[in-house]
């Protein structure tokens, strides 16, 4: 049976915007507590998913829908295709839930599925043009700061996005997974289906190419 879940991406907020002015030590303790709570929650969620809990499936989609949708957009898919591939990624995850080892592997496991879904799409649509990362949405801040500084930063950001969009697929994926989706090297390598050394090599090649094109 297939399930449709609405996109709650608009509800997501940057953690930086929520950051307070607590003492650094207290802040580190809070981070540790949040990480411990997250790992415990992921373990619990993984167990419920493996048990076939549909409520857990809905919670799973609610947690990761925005991330996977943005991942698809940053890989070069247009809005409609990204939405379709995001849905397909969660359906694939639900169908292969028994392969999920534990909650700690949730991120890399889901991104591995999404990467394969994207790769299969490109194989089936070889002539389809990629969408520029320019279109994934980066709001320009209000001109309360020095206008020339804002323009300069956004011109450089624009050049960087275009350069990332022109990277070969494997190098682009490496940049997107690590720098845009914020996966660790270990998670990103598993998501890409390669050894950490191979992933680091791809990332270094990508960064070297970007430096030549942007700077």
Q: Are residues 121 and 155 in the same domain?
A: no
**Average pLDDT of the chain to the nearest whole number:** 77
What are the Cα distances from residue 116, in Å, to 55, 84, 111, 204? 25, 14, 8, 23
Q: Are residues 157 and 188 in the same domain?
A: yes
The pLDDT of residue 58 is 92
pLDDT at 133 over 80: no
pLDDT, one tens digit per residue, over 7-26 is 544 443 443 344 443 445 55
Q: Are residues 192 and 112 in the same domain?
A: no
| 53 band by pLDDT with thresholds 50, 70 and 90 | confident
| Burial (CB count <10 Å: 0-12, 13-18, 19+), residue 86 | buried
pTM for this model (two decimals): 0.72
Q: Are residues 101 and 32 in the same domain?
A: yes
Domain containing 43: what range?
23-126
The pLDDT of residue 132 is 55
Phi, psi of 192 (to 5 degrees): -80, -10
Q: Are residues 181 and 99 in the same domain?
A: no
Q: Does some domain include residue 193?
A: yes
pLDDT at 207 over 80: yes
| 32 band by pLDDT with thresholds 50, 70 and 90 | low
Q: Does some domain include residue 105?
A: yes
pLDDT at 147 over 60: no
**Contact criterion met (CB below 8 Å) for 137 and 75:** no
Query: How many independent structural domains does the chain possess?
Result: 2
Q: Are residues 200 and 160 in the same domain?
A: yes
- The token pair that represents 48 in the structure block: 């419920």
SS3 of residue 4 by DSSP: coil
The pLDDT of residue 29 is 59
Q: Are residues 121 and 197 in the same domain?
A: no
Q: Are residues 168 and 103 in the same domain?
A: no
Q: Are residues 45 and 106 in the same domain?
A: yes
| Burial (CB count <10 Å: 0-12, 13-18, 19+), residue 85 | buried
Distance (Å, whole) CA 83 – CA 78: 9
Q: Are residues 49 and 101 in the same domain?
A: yes
Q: Are residues 163 and 206 in the same domain?
A: yes
| CATH code of the domain covering residue 117 | 1.10.1740.10
Q: Are residues 214 and 174 in the same domain?
A: yes
- In the listed set 126, 157, 188, which residue is the last one of a domain according to the structure? 126
| CATH code of the domain covering residue 212 | 1.10.10.10
More confident residue, 102 or 35: 102
The pLDDT of residue 127 is 61
The pLDDT of residue 125 is 84
Beta strands in the chain (DSSP E): none
Share of the chain above pLDDT 70, in %: 67
The pLDDT of residue 44 is 86
| 30 band by pLDDT with thresholds 50, 70 and 90 | low
């Amino acid at each position: 049976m297939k399930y449709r879940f609405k996109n709650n991406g608009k509800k997501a907020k940057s953690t930086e915007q929520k950051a307070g002015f607590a003492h650094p030590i207290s802040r580190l303790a809070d981070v540790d507590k949040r990480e411990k709570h997250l790992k415990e929650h992921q373990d619990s969620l993984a167990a419920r998913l493996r048990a076939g809990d549909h409520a857990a499936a809905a919670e799973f989609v609610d947690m990761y829908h925005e991330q996977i949708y943005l991942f698809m957009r940053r890989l070069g898919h247009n809005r409609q295709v990204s939405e379709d591939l995001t849905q397909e990624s969660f359906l694939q995850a639900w169908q292969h839930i028994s392969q999920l080892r534990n909650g700690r592997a949730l991120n890399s496991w889901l991104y591995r599925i999404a990467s394969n879904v994207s790769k299969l799409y490109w194989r089936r649509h070889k002539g389809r043009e990629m969408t520029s990362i320019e279109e994934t949405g980066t709001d320009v801040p209000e001109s309360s700061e020095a206008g020339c500084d804002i323009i300069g930063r956004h011109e450089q950001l624009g050049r960087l996005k275009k350069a990332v969009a022109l990277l070969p697929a494997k190098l682009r994926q490496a940049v997107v997974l690590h720098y845009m989706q914020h996966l660790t090297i270990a998670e990103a390598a598993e998501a890409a289906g390669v050894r950490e050394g191979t992933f680091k090599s791809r990332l270094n090649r990508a960064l070297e190419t970007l430096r030549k094109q942007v700077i």
